[in-house]
């Protein structure tokens, strides 16, 4: 896959946020755990990685490279279109094409993106402007093939979590995101090279996507070979995630934290812009049906023990999330106070 030749968004249209470099002394970070889901001990390895980091990568996942490359190529050709053509599919509110603005509440980043509803009912999402998103049928087909494959990865991860935590049945979690009414979302992000970085001191960085946690159960992320993704360790230090085009990165989301009563915690992550190379990432957010109750699985509560969070439905949580800023702690208002 060649490097994208895409004109970056105009510098004066984005409020650039400088974020500190990843904290010094990441020497005690052993690196992102890699899990082969069909290997022996996979369930225990998944739970261990989720408990320690809320993050790991899946290797040997069985998703054909052809499926991934096809979506990456179609996304590249979408983002390479003239701005006016892309704008027909926007603005993202929340679905559709977005540029530099993230969400509805003033967050910005050095990126453009497509945000698509990909639940089982939805053949093609419709943007606020009323046009189908994505507008090309080749892109739509690539999305549908890709989502079919990564939905399977998300389900296998959640089965491993249930097995590793001793929760029955095996599909107690995966079933929540596989039903016909589940609320899956695909996000394709394009971070153009940021020339401003070449004029800034090395200690500065430009925010591609500001720090946040993902609200769903898990997110399955694949990127091209351009670095930029960072994650916050439990002690607050930021570490870079070396890109791996052949792997899927799994991110624990807020809803899985609640379902496991805080045993697995969602992880803050962010993306910093790159001065020279474009980054393209494709993230499948595994969300349940709007009516799905999000409350600790009974096996994970002691006799008479109350959950750390008040229970809610996914629909309620999503509504609250869309009223929040990217960096907010969205679970905090749901925490049960003593
Ligand atoms: C600022 C926002 C963007 C976001 C909705 C929100 O109000 C807060 C959560 C954000 C987030 C983060 C993970 C995913 O990228 C996303 C699609 C999601 O479900 O929650 C985004 C939302 C978005 O970009 O619309
Ligand atoms: O683009 C990336 O690598 C991560 C983006 C992200 O965290 C998100 O879209 O929620
Ligand atoms: Fe995210």
140-148: Cβ within 8 A, 24+ apart:
142/70, 142/71, 142/73, 142/74, 142/75, 143/71, 143/74, 143/116, 143/118, 143/186, 144/118, 145/67, 145/70, 145/71, 146/67, 146/68, 146/70, 146/71, 146/186, 146/282, 147/118, 147/184, 147/186, 147/284
Q: Distance between CA 84 and CA 99 in Å, rounded?
A: 12
Identify each DSSP E strand in 103-154 by its residue range.
107-117, 125-126, 132-133
ipTM value, please give it.
0.99
The answer to whether 304 and 222 are in contact (CB under 8 A) is: no
pLDDT at residue 11, as a whole number? 46
Cβ atoms of 11 and 27 closer than 8 Å: no
Question: What pLDDT band is residue 2 in, cutting at 50, 70 and 90?
Answer: very low
218-223 and 248-252: which strand pairing? antiparallel
Residue 166 Cβ < 6 Å to ligand 1: no
Closest CA to 291 of 309, 311, 267: 311
Written as six digits, the tokens of 92 are 């993202």
Instruction: Indicate which atom in ligand 1 lies nearest the CA of residue 326.
Output: 1
| Pocket residue to mutate for ligand 2, from 283, 325, 330, most atoms within 8 A of Cβ | 283
Which of the listed residues 109, 125, 219, 321 should we mutate to test ligand 1's pocket, taking the one with most ligand atoms within 8 A of CB? Answer: 321
Evaluate if pTM is beyond 0.95. no
- Within 10 angstroms of residue 202's Cβ, the number of other Cβ atoms is 7
Q: Which of 98, 208, 212 to mutate to test the pocket of ligand 1 (most atoms within 8 A of CB)?
A: 212
Residues lining ion ligand 3 (Cβ < 5 A) are 214
176 lines ligand 1 (CB under 6 A): no
User: Which atom of ligand 2 is nearest to 270's Cα?
Assistant: 7
110-116-122 Cα angle (round to 5): 180
- For residue 109, pLDDT over 90 is answered with yes
SS3 category, 137: helix
pLDDT at 135: 63
pLDDT in tens, 198-227: 888 877 889 999 999 999 999 999 999 999
pLDDT for residue 29 is more than 90 = no
Structure tokens given for 319: 């509504």
């Amino acid at each position: 896959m060649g490097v994208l030749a895409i004109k970056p968004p105009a510098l004066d249209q984005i409020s650039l946020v400088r974020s500190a470099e990843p904290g010094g002394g990441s020497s005690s970070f052993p690196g992102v755990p890699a899990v082969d889901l069909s290997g022996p001990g996979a369930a225990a390895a998944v739970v261990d990685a989720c408990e320690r980091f809320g993050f790991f990568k899946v290797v040997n996942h069985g998703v054909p490279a052809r499926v991934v490359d096809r979506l990456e190529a179609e996304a590249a050709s979408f983002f390479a279109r003239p701005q006016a053509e892309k704008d027909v599919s926007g603005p993202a509110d929340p679905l559709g094409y977005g540029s530099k603005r993230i969400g509805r509440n003033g967050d910005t980043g050095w990126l453009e993106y497509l945000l698509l509803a990909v639940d089982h009912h939805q053949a093609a999402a419709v943007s606020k402007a009323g046009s189908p998103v994505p507008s090309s049928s080749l892109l739509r087909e690539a999305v549908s093939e890709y989502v079919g494959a990564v939905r399977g990865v998300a389900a296998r991860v959640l089965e491993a979590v249930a097995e590793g935590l001793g929760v029955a049945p095996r599909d107690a979690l995966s079933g929540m995101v596989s039903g016909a009414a589940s609320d899956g979302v695909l996000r394709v992000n394009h971070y153009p090279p940021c020339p401003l970085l070449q004029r800034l001191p090395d200690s500065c960085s430009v925010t591609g996507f500001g720090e946040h946690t993902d609200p769903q159960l898990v997110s399955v992320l694949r990127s091209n070979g351009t670095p930029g993704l960072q994650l916050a360790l439990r002690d607050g230090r930021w570490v870079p995630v070396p890109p791996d085009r052949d792997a899927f990165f799994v991110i624990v989301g807020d809803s899985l934290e609640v379902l496991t009563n805080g045993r697995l915690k969602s992880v803050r992550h962010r993306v910093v812009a790159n001065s020279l190379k474009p980054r393209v990432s494709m993230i499948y957010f595994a969300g349940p049906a709007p009516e799905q109750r999000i409350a600790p699985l009974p096996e994970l509560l002691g006799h008479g023990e109350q959950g750390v969070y008040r229970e809610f439905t996914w629909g309620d949580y999503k509504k609250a999330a869309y009223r929040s800023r990217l960096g907010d702690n969205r679970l905090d208002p749901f925490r049960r106070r003593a």
